[in-house]
Amino acid sequence: MTAQPPIGPVDSSVIPRFAGPATFARLPRTDQVGHADVVVAGVPFDTGVSYRPGARFGPNAVREGSRLLRPYHPGLDVSPFASAQVADAGDIPVNPYDIGRAIETLQHEATELTAGGTRLVTLGGDHTIALPLLRAAAERHGPVALLHFDAHLDTWDTYFGERYTHGTPFRRAAEEGILDTSALSHVGTRGPLYGRGDLDEDSRLGFGIVTSGDVLRRGVAETVDALRQRIGDRPLYISVDIDVLDPAHAPGTGTPEAGGMTSRELLEILRGLAGCNLVGADVVEVAPAYDHAEITAIAAAHVAYDLVSLLALRHAPADPGPGRQQ
């Protein structure tokens, strides 16, 4: 905990929610708080996409979608912005023309942002960014357990001969030894594949799969139980591609697939992970150009809020109080 109460969001009874700078959940910027326990940062990058572009505009769309978030989370019984100092670091500028340089820059910046024990929640951007974020997490914590919420496996080898794309980050991460291969899970996968070999290769890398159909048949409680058993107390990284949700709940994404999870199911699964050793997380693939009425951005903002709240739980006293308004 910081020496004085954390600075919380802008007071919505003084400044209306539709006014003022659009930081995540209307939180202070990192330059306004000094040390932060949890930092939210954007990565406006979509050079790695294979279908519809536009996720470079995702971070600001999620920030706009977060304006209605409030400071107490009843589902987790935590006031995250009073329990921990949470701040918005703005966007990490990465090269939009050179994927290799973008990955190097993001890895360096993520390592800097997490110095001193700060935890990072990243708003993408496309899923390519998960690789450098996992590298930075592994630098701090060693090989990490991974929960990957996505319609797709993202463990393919190449696209058009390229090894670094939004469909390959977890294969590269497994090859680099930065994942704990005894604790890897995809959640919410569905839809057609290129062939049975995709599943065989994915299994060889160490991944278990909970499909969206499995979540429907088993329910949230059984799904959470299975995931927690696989994770144990290992350092955990959570990566959420918003296309894990059905297009009815998240139309604004680059590669939508029918038959996905509901936003309620996703949020309840995340809340079921309270107490796990979460060390970092991302929410990616929000493409606002395809997002009617901000449905996807709002869903992604709530996912990010739940991730921040899970991280804040490790700082939470019995009664955190309201926190200091900025």
Q: What is the CATH number of the domain that holds 205?
A: 3.40.800.10
Pick the residue with more confidence: 122 or 21?
122
249 known ligand binder: no
pLDDT category, 181, cuts 50, 70, 90? very high
Is 127 marked as a binding-site residue? yes
Average pLDDT, the chain: 95
- 154 marked as part of a ligand binding site: yes
Position 241 in a domain:
yes
Q: With CA atoms as reference, report the closest residue to 61 among 24, 94, 9, 86.
A: 24
Angle (deg, nearest 10), helices 130-141 and 99-113: 40
**Each residue's pLDDT tens digit, 40-89:** 999 999 999 999 999 999 999 999 999 999 999 999 999 999 999 999 99
Residue 245 maps to a domain: yes
The reply to whether 104 falls in a domain is yes
pLDDT at 3: 66
| pLDDT at site 318 | 52
Strands (E) in 84-132, as ranges, are 86-91, 119-124
150 is in an annotated binding site: yes
Strand ranges (DSSP E) for the chain?
A: 38-43, 86-91, 119-124, 144-149, 179-189, 207-211, 236-241, 278-284
Over residues 155-179, mean pLDDT: 98
Tell whether the model's pLDDT for residue 1 goes beyond 50. Answer: no
What's the one-letter identity of residue 11?
A: D
Which domain covers residue 124, as residue numbers? 24-315
How many helices and strands in the chain, by DSSP H and E?
Answer: 10, 8
Asked whether residue 69 is assigned to any structural domain, the reply reads yes
Q: Name the pTM for this structure.
A: 0.96
Question: Confidence band (pLDDT; 50, 70, 90) for 34?
Answer: confident
Number of domains in the chain: 1
Tens-place pLDDT, residues 257-294? 999 999 999 999 999 999 999 999 999 999 999 999 99
- Residue 157 annotated as lining a ligand binding site: no
